[in-house]
Chain A
Amino acid sequence: MATANPIPDETSVADQAAADLVVFVTAMPAEQFKGLLINLEAAFPAGSTLVASQNPLPADVATHLRIIQTPQANPLWMFKPGDFIEAAQCGSDYGTKAILMLGPGADSLGTPALRDLADTVLSVSIDLAVPYYALAPHAGLINSAILYPLTRAVFASRVRFPLPIDLGLSPRMAQRLAGVAQRIAASGQDDSLVWPVNEAVAAGFIVDQVDAGSRTMPQPSDQDVNSILALVTGSLFADIEEKAALWQRPRRAPPIRKATTEAPDSDGTADVARMVAAFRLATDNLQEIWSLVLPPNSLLMLKRCSVLDATEFRMPDNLWARIVYDFLIAYRLRTMNRGHLLGALIPLYLAWVAGHINTIASGTPAERHIEAVAAAFEADKPYLVARWRWPDRFNS
């Protein structure tokens, strides 16, 4: 556990009384925190809920919620390892039955979503409650292209958002994540991500999904796709490599609640031509690098895709699955510098995005296409396992 106690010693006896639920709120702008407090007050009864916040309490807010201060931090777009340590510490100190972690922008979550997240852990004895966000078709594309299909195939988990910004945790799940976070912090990688769903599957804990409706998603301060993709995908690849002994065993995905909230309609246009042009430029210049990672038949299919017109551009689902798996293998084998490897993946990802947008524009619902992609990843898992064990053979 954390070596420093984040709870200030001057808390009163009343504040130190046990609480059924601890809501851990990470750093966010003051306006968001004010709105969140209003929603929390409406969602949870007074007395049984404790709010542990990295934000100073606004002076003009009167609330019946118990609020304690944790060490302040700069707002980030994702949970830091230290957040999990603090949340687990709070849960342990107050003997709670459930911990709710809320990230920046949580004020946009409705009261029912907040209540469902907490009740899933409190009443139904789920260890990890993960929200299902109703995002626009052009949002959360890295999650749709890589995170969800890869997590579903490798860890047999149908959670739609494996890297959520809000979580409902049981005490043991919180301790598990805190342990992982401690290890990450000890190795000095404070920017690393913790993958709650993967950890829950590894520990054999129960995971469920909760309809959270629409939510304002915080964006990284550096919104360049190069840095976001490298950070998120690299972190997932590293986590998969670490848990290799677990996911190579055959496992069946447990049932999970399906979302009922309809995703909003597309909120604008996207520059498909630019993405296809970027892919074509990469096809002309990165063949030598891709040939170190991808087998000849994948390279041939990519060459065929590069001559398609921008309006008709599609990347076949099984090709995309093979590409991601081959890059995962290359990441493990250190075929080349990992930064170079993830940089070489970016044009291929943009090609997938272009194909996805064209598919949506042709009338296919976004979720149906994403489910098809995830199914292709599941179907090709034997290819991943075979290449993981015998890396020198390109299986056709």
Chain B
Amino acid sequence: MQTVVSTTTQPTGPNLAALPTYSEDIWHHMSDALHQSIYRVLTLLIAVLPGILAFFVALVIFAVAGAAISWILRRCLTWVKFDLRIARKGGTDWAPTTSPTELLARVSFWTCVLLGLIIGVSAFDTSYSTGTALPISLLPYLTHAVGAALLLVAGILIARFLARSVLISAVNAQLQYARFLSLGVKWLVLVLTAAMVLDHLEVGGNIVELAFGILFGGIVLTLSLAVGLGSRDLVSRSLESRVEHNNERAHIPEEPAGAGSSIRHF
């Protein structure tokens, strides 16, 4: 009997000895790419870092200078009795926090801070544009961002002012939904402000404009319908009484307009 000895022979497919070489190449390329990108970013940071440092140094120096100038100005004006001289001329008694001396001191401080900010931003931009080959300059976007921030602040202040005006007027008109009306006005203004800020930052493009237009127009249309349909009698009576009031303007009334009430506030 013959013993069949099976022997294992090497397969005839690809050469596995080459696989480690391919994986080493891939890893090598990957690490090269990573190293290069890290290098680029670090280079950019190194180029920008002095500018950032210059920005903060300028801001701090001018803020300190502003504080010093403000203190000196306050002392000098107090010594020459500036508030008293102004009060004598204008006949007004000033509150301590809003006296002319205090106002001038604050204006001088914030002027120095603003100057420091401008110089710092300018130094940052110079450093950035000379230290890198990237064509993008950060300064225009920074100014847009500052403008957007100012828009936001102004919008919030206007929203709060209008909300308070509407609240007080509605309460004095004895409208039960005074708070709701005030909140509605506040949010309308805030939504408008947000849309303006996003537009200023060139974020979202047409989508933001379209969304805002639909939202705002819808709210205004809803309010118009609600007021117009719900209070058309009141509006027409109010218009009629206004026309009568204008015709009788030369006549000084001696009795109050409200029938049945004997209260005269004056």
Contact = CB atoms under 8 A, between A and B. Distances in A.
A143 B266 contact: yes
B266 A220 contact: yes
Contact of B265 (A29, A76, A229, A337): A229
Interface in B73-98: 91-93, 95-98
A221 B252 contact: yes
Given A223-B257, A286-B167, A344-B168, A142 B265 contact: yes
Contact of A346 (B172, B249, B255, B261): B172
A268 B262 contact: yes
Interface in B224-266: 245, 249-257, 260-266
Interface stretch (A40-48, A81-89, A115-123, A241-249): A241-249
B190 interface: no
B156 interface: no
Interface residues of A, number: 59
A235 interface: no
B260 to A, nearest CB: 7
B71 to A, nearest CB: 21
A268 B262 CA distance: 5
B253 A242 contact: no
Interface string A107-137: 0000000000000000000000000000010
Contacts of B263: 138-139, 141, 270, 353, 357
A284 to B, nearest CB: 8
B254 A218 contact: yes
Contact of B253 (A139, A219, A229, A289): A219
A221 B164 contact: no
A136 B261 CA distance: 13
A278 B174 CA distance: 6
Contacts of A29: 250-252
B181 to A, nearest CB: 10
Given A141-B264, A271-B261, A219 B256 contact: yes
B96 A232 contact: no
B142 interface: no
Interface in B93-107: 93, 95-98
A68 B260 CA distance: 42
A365 interface: no
A396 interface: no
Contacts of B176: 281
Nearest to B90: A242
Nearest to A274: B174
A266 B262 contact: yes
B174 A244 contact: no
Interface string A127-168: 000000000101111110000000000000000000000000
A391 B96 contact: yes
B250 A347 contact: no
Contact of A242 (B92, B165, B250, B261): B92
Of B95, B171, B261, chain A has the most CB atoms within 10 Å of the CB of B171
Interface string A267-290: 111110010011001100110010
Interface in A199-258: 216-221, 223, 225-226, 228-229, 232, 241-242, 244-245
A35 interface: no
12 contacts: A219-B264, A221-B245, A223-B265, A244-B93, A281-B176, A285-B178, A286-B168, A286-B171, A337-B161, A339-B165, A353-B265, A391-B95
Interface of B: 91-93, 95-98, 161, 164-165, 167-169, 171-172, 174, 176, 178-179, 245, 249-257, 260-266
Interface of A: 28-29, 74-77, 104-105, 136, 138-143, 216-221, 223, 225-226, 228-229, 232, 241-242, 244-245, 266-271, 274, 277-278, 281-282, 285-286, 289, 332-334, 336-337, 339-340, 343-344, 346-347, 353, 357, 391
Given A76-B252, A241-B93, 16 more contacts: A29-B250, A77-B266, A104-B252, A105-B252, A138-B264, A141-B263, A141-B264, A142-B266, A217-B254, A219-B254, A219-B264, A220-B266, A245-B93, A340-B165, A340-B168, A344-B168
